[in-house]
Structure 1
Amino acid sequence: MAIERPRALVTGASSGIGRVYAEHLARTGHDLILVARRADRLQALADALAQEHRIEIEVLPADLGESDGVETVARRIEAGARIDMLINNAGYAARARVAELDFAALEAMLRVNILALARLSQAALKRMIEVGRGTIINIASGTVFMQMPGNAGYGASKNFVTAFTRHMQVEAAGTGVRVQLLVPGVIATDFHEVAGNDLANFPPERVMSAEDLVVASLRALELGEEVCIPSLPDMAAWDAYADAEAGVAANVSRDRIAPRYHAG
């Protein structure tokens, strides 16, 4: 009897972090669905991985900045052969100070970073809950903890990813579905060049390889960590952050204002 391999769908799979996820999952016996805009690069990657690892690979070219592209992938998740893992990796940065933003560029980025991720997460979570298992990995950014000139649009998009994913984790509890929030720092990919930056501008000790990032993410799944911050030495720091957040939340809705707002 043929053994059914797990199947993972990776967005932004033609380069960078997405490509490394695809390579790692292929080595560990996953069939793949590869999603990106560049069909030629996807096909070249698929051919190489299929030949090396004897796995089945679907190539699904789609522009996640366009509604039609997003719906093509969502329909594949909803109605095609079962998907065991979704890696929402596609995303990019369009940066400028708020007063100088190119609004069309901002809108295009938000379509990929927010709307596409939300739609694919919704499709995958619904189907995975129905079958009682599955894994979703949503990729945020270390900039969610920072406020920097020129980063309002991108940083806010990744704050959406963070909040949306944490809500998903609450809703997925007890269903058999795992939802991971991955929070990378600076990763050595072409992401920075596309965003108009240069890796050379970062101290080497702040730059992680995409390979290490992916290893940490998949190891965190094994450890049961819902939030993976690969270079954070002790997850107690995240726990303290979440506890502080809960302390604020407990006092945001009261029947009276705080004493400091009373005159005199």
Structure 2
Amino acid sequence: MPTTLITGASTGIGAVYARRFAARGHNLVLVARSAEKLGDLGAELRAAHDISVEIIAADLTDPAQLATVEARLRSGDAIDVLVNNAGAALLGPFAGADPARMAQLLSLNVTAPTLLASAAVGGMVKRGSGAIINIGSVVSFMPAVFPGIYAATKAYLLTFSQGLAAELGPKGVYVQAVLPAATRTDIWTKAGADLAKIPNLMEVDDLVDAALIGFDRRETVTIPPLGDAGLWDAFETARAILPSGLGGAPAERYRRSA
């Protein structure tokens, strides 16, 4: 039986991923801050699917607790799928933002998934199989609409995932970036947003089910609400072509002042 480790597993997207992978027959390692919520979810899934569920209560912004999860990825029973789902939002402009809150957001949205992926890939490459799912956001493409560093952290996850996919795909490790639009989770209320004022919210179950279809198709990037896949293909084609013509000399338009 494969084993999946999911961060931010106690509620929302992480909990639905746990239920879906349990239904697929995966043993689980569930990570979140609330041991009580994880315990309740673990008991539910053990009873429903006759799987093993390991609980790790950890705050991934705490280096010592993050190291505990890293150690689990490197040792013990092999982890076949890592779902980097834990994350937070920080609303408001960059100017005047609290440095301590920004540092905490960077720890959770950037440092934690990077180090957890690093801990997981050694065993996956050695076995020639495995998968990493990184939960990003469509705000990666909307920095002007979402000022501050939240969009930047999600842009990092997208680029990080694409780089990993290029490096690890030939070694048998599949990497998927999932980019939700606004989804009905408590990330927004924790950040101080009013869900009633956010249009076109996607339900969590719908999001995860769509993301898993992308997972089964082995998509590198899955954008569940995107109806026209050609738009993403065109974007990726332009992104890939752009650097090909860049040489070692300034472009003609930069050879003279305005």
- Compute the TM-score of the two structures, normalised by the length of structure 2: 0.96
Assess if the C-alpha contact under 8 Å between 1:129 and 1:177 holds in 2. yes
Equivalent in the alignment of 1:86: 82
Equivalent in the alignment of 2:203: 209
Q: Deviations over 1:2-43 (max 9, x none)?
A: xxx111000000011001100111112111000001111111
Could you tell me how far 1:234 is from its partner in structure 2?
2.4
Equivalent in the alignment of 1:57: 53
Q: Tell me the C-alpha RMSD between the 2 structures.
A: 1.4
Q: Deviations over 1:153-207 (max 9, x none)?
A: 111111111111111011012111110010000111111101110221122xx21
Assess if the C-alpha contact under 8 Å between 1:168 and 1:179 holds in 2. yes
Q: Residues 195 and 85 (structure 1 numbering): CA distance in 2 closer, same or farther, change over 3 Å?
A: same
Counterpart of 2:190, as a letter, is V
Equivalent in the alignment of 2:244: 250
Give the length in aligned residue pairs.
258
Map 1:109-120 onto structure 2 (within 5 A). 109-120=105-116
* Runs of 4+ with >6 A deviation: none
Assess if the C-alpha contact under 8 Å between 2:90 and 2:148 holds in 1. no
Could you tell me how far 1:150 is from its partner in structure 2?
5.5
SS in 1 for 2:149: helix
Equivalent in the alignment of 2:136: 140
Q: Residues 231 and 149 (structure 1 numbering): CA distance in 2 closer, same or farther, change over 3 Å?
A: closer
Is 1:262 aligned to residue 256 of structure 2?
Answer: yes
SS in 1 for 2:170: coil
Alignment partner for residue 73 of structure 1, among 66, 69, 72? 69
Q: Deviations over 1:109-165 (max 9, x none)?
A: 100100000000111122101100011000111101112366321111111111111
Map 1:1-264 onto structure 2 (within 5 A). 5-148=1-144, 151-203=147-199, 206-259=200-253, 261-263=255-257
Deviates more, 1:242-251 or 1:37-46: 242-251
- CA distance in 2 between counterparts of 1:9 and 1:98 reads 33
Counterpart of 1:243, as a letter, is T
Assess if the C-alpha contact under 8 Å between 2:13 and 2:85 holds in 1. yes
SS in 2 for 1:238: helix
Counterpart of 1:102, as a letter, is D
Q: Residues 150 and 223 (structure 1 numbering): CA distance in 2 closer, same or farther, change over 3 Å?
A: closer
- CA distance in 2 between counterparts of 1:253 and 1:38 reads 52
- Compute the TM-score of the two structures, normalised by the length of structure 1: 0.93
- CA distance in 2 between counterparts of 1:253 and 1:114 reads 32
SS in 1 for 2:79: coil
Counterpart of 2:162, as a letter, is R
- Identity percentage over the alignment? 37
- CA distance in 2 between counterparts of 1:211 and 1:41 reads 18
Assess if the C-alpha contact under 8 Å between 1:16 and 1:190 holds in 2. yes
